[in-house]
């Protein structure tokens, strides 16, 4: 039977470690602070932001949610970021995406001070990460590494195949795996003979944003599969393609009208030696690593 890598348990352990660090900083008169900028009213984003604010409160981190209106301009957002950059009580700035069409997202992300860029998206942090120097790494890829290391999955010398090349997950995941001495292959939707490459993977990271994209024929028996994808499916046809006969998922689909599936077809997990489920795998690590990044930013800014 494949081993299920429990992301929720690993995230809980990381958050406990963060809470202990926050207590130590409090003894020095320091309280890490996180500002989350949420534009307009996007239901999914509001849920995510509430979760982040609640976790901050649980761990002793100061948090502030700033809510500009849907009509906000790029200049108004730049002014807001500039004010947050200048605040000593704010160590991390997170801009919840997506932003309205009239806002220049790239300009806004670039305006965040690299020392407060807890999402790890600033070009300066991307460069430091690539160079192997201290930097704030994107939360989800950092969480992937934590899952592997804390689950006792060997990385050094293994062949890791990353499917997906986004700046948020695919590229930084590949770099972090390289820093752990894996041999890394990056693939994407235009890669020819993709299955031949994914079947070579000891560690297969699926981060392409397509439901069930990695099929059983693309997996080597015994591989460790890290499924980063979170895709909501709401049609009966799609449900039957992934979960036919799964009574637990059937009940969820009947109740909510949709279910979540990752970038890996559920049948592919049966071939794995170990895998992260969806939900309950990589997802919980993202907020945990955001908290860790906020504390790290607080320490780095003070030379600790």
Give residue 42's pLDDT band: very low, low, confident or very high (50, 70, 90): confident
The question of whether 119 is a catalytic residue gets the answer yes
Residue 52 is among the residues annotated as catalytic for this protein = yes
pLDDT at 22 over 80: yes
**Of the given ranges (60-74, 156-170, 186-200, 239-253), which has the lowest mean pLDDT?**
239-253
Active-site pick, 15, 116, 117, 119: 119
For position 45, what pLDDT does the model report?
82
pLDDT for the residue numbered 28 = 96
Average pLDDT on 164-183 reads: 97
Give the per-residue pLDDT at 235: 92
- pLDDT-derived band at 184, boundaries 50, 70, 90: very high
pLDDT of 89-128, one tens digit each? 999 999 998 899 999 999 999 999 999 999 999 999 999 9
Q: What is the mean pLDDT of residues 248-265?
A: 93
- Structural domains of the chain ordered from first start: 7-116+286-301 (3.40.50.10860), 139-283 (3.40.50.720)
Supply the pLDDT for residue 59. 98
pLDDT > 90: percent of the chain = 94
Catalytic residue among 15, 91, 96, 202: 96
Mean pLDDT of the chain: 96
Task: Tell me: pLDDT of 44 over 80.
Answer: no
4, 8, 82, 243 from 258: Cα distances, Å: 23, 22, 40, 12
pTM of this prediction?
0.94
132 pLDDT band, cuts 50/70/90, is very high
What percentage of the chain exceeds 70 in pLDDT?
Answer: 100
What pLDDT does 194 receive? 97
Given this model, what pLDDT does residue 72 score? 96
Q: What's the whole-number mean pLDDT along residues 59-85?
A: 97
Please report which confidence band the pLDDT of residue 291 belongs to, taking 50, 70 and 90 as the band edges. Answer: very high
pLDDT recorded at residue 48: 86
pLDDT the model gives residue 46: 86
């Amino acid at each position: 039977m494949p081993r299920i890598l429990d992301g929720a348990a690993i995230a809980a352990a990381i958050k406990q470690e963060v809470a202990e660090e926050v207590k130590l900083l409090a003894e020095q008169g320091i309280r890490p602070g996180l500002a989350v900028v949420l534009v307009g009213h996007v239901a999914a984003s509001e849920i995510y932001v509430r979760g982040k604010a609640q976790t901050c409160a649980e761990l002793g981190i100061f948090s502030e949610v700033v809510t500009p209106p849907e009509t906000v301009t790029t200049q108004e957002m730049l002014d807001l970021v500039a004010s947050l950059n200048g605040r000593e009580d704010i160590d991390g700035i997170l801009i919840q995406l997506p932003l309205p069409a009239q806002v220049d997202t790239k300009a806004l992300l670039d305006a965040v001070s690299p020392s407060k860029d807890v999402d790890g998206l600033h070009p300066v942090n991307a460069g430091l990460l690539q160079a192997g120097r201290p930097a704030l790494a994107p939360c989800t890829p950092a969480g992937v590494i934590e899952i592997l290391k804390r689950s006792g999955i060997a990385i050094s010398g293994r062949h890791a195949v990353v499917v997906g090349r986004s700046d948020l997950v695919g590229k930084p995941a590949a770099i972090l795996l390289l820093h752990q001495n894996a041999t890394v292959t990056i693939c994407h939707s235009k890669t020819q003979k993709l299955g031949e490459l994914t079947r070579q993977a000891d560690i297969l990271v699926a981060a392409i944003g397509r439901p069930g994209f990695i099929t059983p024929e693309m997996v080597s028996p015994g591989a460790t599969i890290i499924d980063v994808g979170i895709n909501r499916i709401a049609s009966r046809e799609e449900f039957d393609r992934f979960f036919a006969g799964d009574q637990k998922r059937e009940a969820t689909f009947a109740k909510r009208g949709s279910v979540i599936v990752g970038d890996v077809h559920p049948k592919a997990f049966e071939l794995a030696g170990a895998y992260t489920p969806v939900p309950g795998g990589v997802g919980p690590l993202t907020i945990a690593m955001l908290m860790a990044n906020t504390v790290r930013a607080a320490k780095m800014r003070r030379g600790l």
